[in-house]
Structure 1
Amino acid sequence: MKKILLFLFSLIAILVLAAWLFSLYQFRDRHKGYWIDLNLQSSQNDILSGFSKVEISPEIPETWIDANGDARYNSEDGDTYSDANGNGKFDGVWLAGFHTGRAAQAVLDPLWARAMVLDAGDVQIALVVIDMIGFGNDEVIASRKLIQETNPELDYVIITSTHVHSSPDLMGMWGASQYERGVDPAYLYQVQKGIQKAVSQASENKRKAVFRFSEEQEKLKPLVGDTRDPQVLDAGLKLMQVLDAETNETLGTIMNWGNHPETLWLENIEVSSDFAHHWREIVENGIVEKDSVFVEGVGGVAIFLNGAIGGLMTTHPSMEVIDPFSKEKFQKQNPEKIIAQGRALAKVTLETLRDSSYLEVGKSNLAVRAETIELKMDNKLFHLAAYLGIFDRGFTKWKHIRSEVSAWKLGPATFVHVPGELYPEILHGGIESPAGGDFGIQPLEVPALQTQIPGQFKFFAGMSNDMVGYIIPKSQWDVEPPFTYKNKNRPYGEINSLGPETAPKIHSSVLKILKELK
C-alpha cells in the first residue's frame, strides 16, 4: 500500500512539475529586455517622404464546399474539401473575426502592407498599415528586427492593422475550433517579410515633400453605427495628403476614420480587405466606366488608418448603404455593399482633398514620443489561451504583457497610437457611470484624450503596435448582473478585453507621452 501511495504521490509531483515547467515555457518573454522609451525631435525642416504597398494576400491551397451554408467548416455537416497535398487533412486558411472554423474559399480582393516613411534627417520613422484583424506586440517587435536588417537608419517603426474581419488569423483565436490555434507560421512570416519590403520600398521612394491637412466631421456618420451605449462615434474623417515638393504629384494619402471593416459580415468566406479595398482604389485611381473617367483619383498610395472602434463601431447588416453615384441602396451584406461603401467613402475623401480650405505645410519639424508599457491580463480565458498555445504571447511578469503607446507630431498635426480597440468616449468624451456597472465609480479616463492632443489636426489610430482587444472605460465595465442600460446579457466587449484596468492604464500612459512630446 505504501508503495502504491508513494508511486501516486511521485506521479502527481511529476505532473505538477511538468505543468509548471510547461507554463514557464508558454509564458516566457519572447523579447526579454526589449523596451522602448523614445523622445525625439528633428532639427531639419525639410521632410522627405516615401510610400509603397506590397500585397500580402494568402494562397488558398485547399478549397472546400460548405454543405449547409453556415460558413463554418465541419465534416460532420457534410462539408468536403480538395486534399491538394494528399496529407489526408484539411489545410484551411482560417479567417479572423466572428466565429471559429471560418475557412476561406477564395480571395475576393487583395490584402496589403502599405507603408509611409518620413525622413527629417536626424529623425526617421515609418508607419505600416496591414490588412489584418490585429498584430500582437511580439510579432511587431519581430518585424522591427527584420526591418532593422534592411533599414537601420529608422528610429521608430509603427505597425498597425485595419482590423478587417476577412483576413487570415494572425492572433490564434480563430482556428478550426476554439481549442486550435488558427495561425499558419509560414503565412505569418510572409506578412512580416511583406512589412519589411514595404518599408524598404517606401524608403527608396523618398522625395522632398509638402503636406496638406484637411478634415470632414459630419458626412461619414451615416456609414457607421454604435452598437453599445453611450452613443459616441469616431466618425470624423482626417486626411494627410503628401505631395512631391517639385512635381506636386501625390505620393500618398493617410485617411483616418473609425469603423470595423466587417461589412461583409460573418457569412463571408472569402479573403477581403472589405470596404477599405474600394475606398483606397478609388482615391488612388478614380472610377473609370466605359473607357471614360467618371471620377478622378489623386494617385499615390492611399492608406486607411483605423480609429477608435470599440463600443462597437460597425456597419451592421441592419444599416443601409447608398451608392453616391448610382443612388442604389444596399442592406444585405455582400460584395456590392462594400463597393457602395467604398465609393461613398472615396467621394467624401476626394471632395475634401480638393476643397481649397486645406492647410499646406512645407518645412516642419518631426517629433516622436513612444513608450513601452505593461498591461495586466485579468481575462481568464486569455490566460488559458496563452497557456494552451492558442495565443503565442509572452509575459513580462506574472499575468502582465508588454505593449506600447506612441505619438508623433508633424507641423499642425499629431498622430496618437494605442494598442487596441479604444471606446470612442475615452477619445472624445462622454464616458458614463451607468447603473449596473460592476464598480459603481465615476469615470476615471478623464480628461478626454482629444482635448489633450496638441495641434490643429488630431489623428488617432487604434490597433497600433499591438492588439489587446477592447479598451473599455472602467466605470462602464459590466460582467456581473444587473447589466447596464437594462441589457438582458452582459455586453460583448468585456469578453475580448484584457480586463477593467486596461483603459485607465492606457489613458494615463497616453496623457503622459502627450505631455512629454516635444
Structure 2
Amino acid sequence: MKKLLQWALIVAALLIIIILIFVVYNNRDRHPGYKVDLSINHSVDQVNYKVGFAKKPVTPTIADTWNDTNGNARFDEGETYNDLNNNGKFDAVWIAGFHNNRPANGVHDDVWARTVVVDDGTTRIALVSLDAIGFMHSDVIDIRKAIPADLNIDYTLISSTHTHESNDLVGIWGPSMFKSGVDSEHMKWLKEQVVNSIEEACTRLRPAKLVLGQDLSGQDSILIKDTRKPIVKATGIQIMEVLDAEQDTTLGSIVNWSNHPEALWSKNLLISSDYPHYIRDALEQGISIQGDTLVKGLGGTSVFFSGVIGGLMAPHSSLSIYDSLRNEEYTEPSFEKARAIGEQVAIWSLKALENADTLTRFDPLRLQAKTVFVPVKNTIFRIASSIGLLHRGMTGWFKATSEVAGLRIGPSTWLSIPGELYPEIVFGGVESPPGQDFDIEPIETPPLQDFMTGDYHYYIGLSNDLVGYIIPKSEWDEKEPWLYHDNNSPYGEENSLGPETAPILYKELKEVLLKLN
C-alpha cells in the first residue's frame, strides 16, 4: 500500500511537471530579446516625399462548404458538410468574430493586405492595413524579420481593420473554445503576402503630393451606435489622397474612420472585409447604379485604417442605415447595409477633398516607437495562452509584450494604438460612475487629442497587436453593482487584458506623443 502511494505521488509529480513545462512553453516569448526603441526626428529643411501603394489578397481558400440546417451559423452536431475536395474530412475555414464554430461557406469579397510606403529621402516607413479581426504582436515581428534588408524599411506598422467576417488569425474562434481556428499554412502564406505587398509598394515609389482633407462635422454619427455608457462617439473622417507629383495622377488614398466593421453581424457565412470593401471600392472605382456613374472615383489603391472603436463603436444590428443613393433603408444586417455605410463614408471623404490642402514639400518624417509590457489579468486569455490557442508570447509571469508608436507624416499626426481604445480616452469624457469596481477618479486624463499636433489626426486602432478593449480603469466593471446601477453587466471586460491596460497604454501613448512633438 505504501509503495502504491509512493508511485501515485511520483506519477502525480511527473504530471504536474509536464503540465508546467507545457504551460511555460506555450507562454514563452516568441522573440526573446526583441525590443523596439525608435526615435527618428531629423532637423533638416523641408523635404520631398516618395510614396508607393500595393495590395495583395490574403483570402483563404474555401475547400468545403456545409449545411446550416437550423440557421444559427454554428456547425452543430448532426449537421453535414460537402466534401468538395473529396478528401474525406471537413476542411473548414473558421470565421473570427462573435462566436466559435462558424465555418465559412464561400467568399463574398477578397480580404487584403494593403500597403503604403512613405520615403522622405532619409527615412522609409511601411504602413499595412490587414483585413482581419486582429493580428498578434509576435506575428507582426515575424513579418518585420522577413522583410528584405535591402528595402531599407526603418519601421513597419501592421494594423487590422477588425472585420468580423474574415478567417481566424488569432486562435480563439475555432470549432470550440479549446481548439484554434488558425490554419498554419494559410498564416505562413499570409505573412509572405504582407512582405510581398511591402516589396511591391517600394518598387512603386513615386514623387508625391499629398491632398489632405477631413470631415469633423459629426454627420457620420448616424452610422455609429455607442453601446456602452458614457456615450462618447468617435466621429470624424480623415482622408489623404496621394498624387504623383510629376503626372498629377492618383497613386492611392488613405481613409481613417472609427466604427466596428460588423455590419454583416453574426449570421453571415461569407468571407468579407465588411463595409471597408465598399469604402475602398468607391474611392477607387466610383459608384455606379445600373450603368450610371453617380460618384466618380479617384483611382489608385485605397487603404482603410480602423480608428478608435472601443466603447463600443458599431453599426449595431439594431441601427437602421439609410442608403441615400438608392433611397432605401436597411434595418437588418446585410451586404446592402454594409454597402450603404461604406459608400456613404466614401462620399463624405470625397467631399472633404474638395476643400483640402495640397502639399508638395514637407517636414521630414518623424517617428517615436517603443515596446511596452501589459499584465494579462484576464483568466480566459491566460488559459488560452497556456494551452496554445493564443500565440501571444509573455515576458515574465503573464506579462504581454506590445508596442505603441507616434508618427508625423507632413501635417498629420498618427497614433498607433495596439487595441480597441475607448473614445473618451482620446476625446475626453472619462467618468467615475457609481458601480465601478475601483473607487477612483479618472486616470486617463487629459484626453490624448490634447497632445496631438498638426491639423490632421489619424488614430490607428489594432495596430501592431491585439490587446482587446482598452477600458478606463475608473469605468472597469466585472462585479455587481453594475455601472450606473444598470441591471446588466457592461460588455468589454471579457475581451480586455485587464484593468491596468488603459492606465499603462495611456501613459505610454502620451509619452510617445510628447517626444514626437
Q: Name the counterpart of 1:191.
A: 190
**Cα distance, 1:359 vs. partner?**
5.1
**Cα distance, 1:380 vs. partner?**
0.9
Q: Quick one: distance in 2 between partners of 1:236 and 1:441?
A: 31
Equivalent residues of 2:208, 2:360 under 8 A apart: no
Q: Quick one: distance in 1 between partners of 2:208 and 2:31?
A: 36
Q: Name the counterpart of 1:414.
A: 413
Q: Which of residues 47, 51, 67 is equivalent to 2:49?
A: 47
1:154 equivalent to 2:156? Answer no
CA deviations on 1:204-227 (whole Å, 9 max, x unpaired) are 110011112111022211011100
Q: Quick one: distance in 2 between partners of 1:358 and 1:286?
A: 22
Q: Quick one: distance in 1 between partners of 2:150 and 2:452?
A: 30
SS in 1 for 2:430: coil
Aligned Cα RMSD in Å?
1.3
**Cα distance, 1:197 vs. partner?**
1.0
**Cα distance, 1:383 vs. partner?**
0.3
User: Partner amino acid for 1:66?
Assistant: D
Q: Name the counterpart of 2:58.
A: 56
Q: Quick one: distance in 1 between partners of 2:52 and 2:113?
A: 14
**Cα distance, 1:293 vs. partner?**
2.5
Equivalent residues of 1:278, 1:343 under 8 A apart: yes
User: Partner amino acid for 1:324?
Assistant: S
Equivalent residues of 1:444, 1:504 under 8 A apart: yes
Q: Name the counterpart of 1:27.
A: 27
Q: Quick one: distance in 1 between partners of 2:451 and 2:358?
A: 21
Runs of 4+ in structure 1 over 4 Å off = none
Q: Name the counterpart of 1:180.
A: 179
Q: Name the counterpart of 2:201.
A: 202
1:263 equivalent to 2:263? Answer yes
Equivalent residues of 1:126, 1:157 under 8 A apart: yes
**Cα distance, 1:85 vs. partner?**
4.5
Q: Quick one: distance in 2 between partners of 1:85 and 1:320?
A: 40
Equivalent residues of 2:275, 2:338 under 8 A apart: yes
SS in 2 for 1:405: strand
**Cα distance, 1:324 vs. partner?**
1.8
User: Partner amino acid for 1:269?
Assistant: L
Q: Name the counterpart of 1:282.
A: 282
SS in 1 for 2:507: helix
User: Partner amino acid for 1:72?
Assistant: R
Q: Quick one: distance in 1 between partners of 2:292 and 2:317?
A: 33
Q: Name the counterpart of 1:293.
A: 293
Q: Quick one: distance in 1 between partners of 2:12 and 2:150?
A: 52
**Cα distance, 1:328 vs. partner?**
1.1
Matches within 5 A, 1:193-232: 193-217=192-216, 218-232=218-232
Q: 1:136 to 1:18 in 2, by over 3 A?
A: same
SS in 2 for 1:203: helix
Q: Quick one: distance in 2 between partners of 1:105 and 1:444?
A: 45
Q: Name the counterpart of 1:381.
A: 380
**Cα distance, 1:178 vs. partner?**
1.1
CA deviations on 1:338-361 (whole Å, 9 max, x unpaired) are 1111221111111111x2243535
1:132 equivalent to 2:132? Answer yes
Q: 1:151 to 1:415 in 2, by over 3 A?
A: farther
TM-score (normalised: structure 2): 0.97
1:70 equivalent to 2:66? Answer no
Q: Name the counterpart of 1:243.
A: 243
**Cα distance, 1:146 vs. partner?**
1.4
CA deviations on 1:364-401 (whole Å, 9 max, x unpaired) are 31101100101110111100001111112211111101
Equivalent residues of 1:210, 1:363 under 8 A apart: no
**Cα distance, 1:179 vs. partner?**
1.2
Q: 1:162 to 1:318 in 2, by over 3 A?
A: same
Task: Give 5+ residue unaligned stretches, structure 1.
Answer: none
1:426 equivalent to 2:428? Answer no
Q: Name the counterpart of 1:495.
A: 494
Q: Quick one: distance in 1 between partners of 2:480 and 2:203?
A: 56
**Cα distance, 1:41 vs. partner?**
2.5
SS in 2 for 1:220: helix
Q: Quick one: distance in 1 between partners of 2:458 and 2:239?
A: 8
Q: Quick one: distance in 2 between partners of 1:503 and 1:422?
A: 8
Q: Name the counterpart of 1:253.
A: 253
Equivalent residues of 1:474, 1:504 under 8 A apart: yes
Q: Quick one: distance in 1 between partners of 2:498 and 2:362?
A: 43
> More deviation in 488-497 or 104-113?
488-497
Equivalent residues of 2:228, 2:491 under 8 A apart: no
User: Partner amino acid for 2:460?
Assistant: A
Q: Name the counterpart of 1:326.
A: 326
Equivalent residues of 2:48, 2:360 under 8 A apart: no
Q: Name the counterpart of 1:466.
A: 465
Q: 1:304 to 1:151 in 2, by over 3 A?
A: farther
> More deviation in 236-245 or 82-91?
82-91
> More deviation in 496-505 or 342-351?
342-351
User: Identity percentage over the alignment?
Assistant: 42
Q: Quick one: distance in 1 between partners of 2:116 and 2:263?
A: 27
Q: Name the counterpart of 1:517.
A: 516
**Cα distance, 1:478 vs. partner?**
0.1
CA deviations on 1:129-157 (whole Å, 9 max, x unpaired) are 0100000000000011112x265400000
1:118 equivalent to 2:130? Answer no
Q: Quick one: distance in 1 between partners of 2:482 and 2:262?
A: 27
